[in-house]
């Protein structure tokens, strides 16, 4: 009998309120764990969308929280990305910039791998932001990462990386069975390219590709609530033969067990987030909620949406058959060269 491994994407609508983001993340992990998931994948900027310099001050604490979440819920956790002020060797990132770091934890809570995003997004997009240039905030990584797990080798990418076929092919050459792509694609670029790029990278590498996306509108600066960025969402699993794989989708807001989920008052059901409330700062939006509560006025709701959890099964045997039927690596004639300088 073929052995299947259940994966889950937790699709998020992260904002600048880190505690609210943790609650959404923990709820998603909890839903996934209760359904026998082995690995949970979070999107890019899962812990804070916007205010990256501020969030980077909590990198180590959020890394520890992620390790605890993996251990508490007994899953492998791909913790999307976190803004990190230092390189993998511990040296500070130059010029006050950050690294966009994707972390993989095992069910014991050990950090198996760190991948720093290599390809930084730079584009002009027909949306309210217009010009994007991650290089102003981040320093590019320079190391390819493939991590060993009990169900196969995980090649790690982030968002804009999926536009570059050479990276996917090289990860396959290094032994990858699965490629993870935590992302925050803009609505416009996602609408045009997201599905096509995930499918192409799966066909290039003959790996399952897991695209975990941010979705909806994000207020990146609470003091300027009209400054909104929109992301595409549409998280999906693409098998090594280019097919969309889906076994189940659960919208936490409509799930019977979590129908009353409220990010402003749900800590009793989420023990890890409850502990984090003691060391995370209160966001501007939460301070406003407290102010309203003190004045006995109507509660102002946060923009945050409850997470959606998307499930799929990884069939390693079927993938191996695909690779045997179309032996891409045996047919490849060009040498793939990566620049690690």
Residue 117 annotated in active site: yes
190-218 burial, b for 16+ CB within 10 Å, e for fewer? beeebbebbbbbbbbbbbbbbbbbbbbeb
Q: Are 179 and 168 in contact (CB under 8 A)?
A: yes
Decide if 44 is catalytic.
yes
Residue 308, both tokens: 């959606």
DSSP code, position 311: E
Phi first, then psi: give them for residue 25, nearest 5 degrees: -65, -50
Q: Which of 11, 26, 97, 159 is catalytic?
A: 159
Is 111 a catalytic site residue? no
By CB neighbour count within 10 A (0-12 exposed, 13-18 middle, 19+ buried), where does 179 fall? buried
- Choose the catalytic residue: 84, 117, 134, 207: 117
Alpha helices in 206-313 (DSSP H): 271-276, 284-294
For the chain, what is the total number of helices (H) and then of strands (E)? Answer: 9, 18
- Give burial (CB, 10 Å; 0-12/13-18/19+) of 230: middle
Catalytic residue, candidates 11, 26, 44, 139 = 44
Tokens representing 225 are 């609530």
Query: How many alpha carbons fall within 13 Å on the CB side of residue 125?
Result: 21
User: What contacts 196, CB < 8 A, 6 or more positions away?
Assistant: none
Residues with catalytic roles? 44, 117, 159
């Amino acid at each position: 009998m073929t052995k299947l491994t259940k994966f889950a994407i937790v699709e998020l609508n992260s904002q600048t309120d880190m505690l609210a983001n943790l609650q959404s993340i923990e709820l998603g992990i909890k839903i996934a764990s209760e359904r026998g998931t082995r690995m949970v994948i979070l999107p890019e900027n899962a812990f804070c969308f916007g205010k990256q310099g501020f969030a980077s001050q909590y990198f180590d604490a959020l890394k520890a929280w992620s390790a605890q979440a993996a251990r508490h819920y007994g899953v492998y956790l791909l913790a999307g990305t976190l803004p990190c002020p230092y390189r993998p060797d511990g040296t500070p990132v130059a010029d006050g910039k950050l690294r966009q770091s994707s972390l993989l934890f095992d069910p014991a809570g050990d950090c198996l791998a760190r991948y720093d995003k290599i390809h930084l997004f730079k584009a002009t997009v027909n949306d309210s932001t217009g010009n994007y240039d991650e290089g102003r905030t981040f320093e590019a990584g320079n190391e390819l990462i493939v991590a060993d797990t009990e169900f196969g080798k995980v090649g790690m990418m982030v968002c804009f990386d999926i536009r570059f076929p050479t990276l996917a092919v090289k990860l396959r050459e290094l032994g990858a069975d699965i490629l993870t792509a935590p992302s925050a694609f803009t609505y416009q670029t996602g609408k045009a390219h997201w599905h096509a790029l995930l499918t192409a990278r799966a066909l290039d590498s003959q790996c399952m590709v897991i695209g975990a996306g941010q979705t909806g509108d994000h207020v990146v600066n609470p003091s300027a609530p009209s400054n909104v960025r929109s992301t595409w969402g549409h998280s999906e699993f693409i098998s090594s033969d280019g097919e969309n794989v889906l076994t189940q989708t659960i919208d936490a807001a409509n799930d019977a067990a979590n129908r009353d989920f409220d990010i402003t008052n749900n800590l009793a059901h989420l023990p890890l987030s409850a502990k984090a409330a003691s060391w995370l700062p209160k966001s501007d939006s939460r301070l406003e909620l407290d102010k309203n509560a003190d004045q006995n006025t109507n509660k102002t709701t946060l923009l945050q949406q409850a997470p959606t959890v998307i499930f799929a099964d990884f069939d390693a045997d079927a993938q191996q058959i695909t690779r045997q039927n179309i032996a891409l690596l045996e047919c490849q004639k060009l040498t793939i060269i990566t620049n690690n300088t």
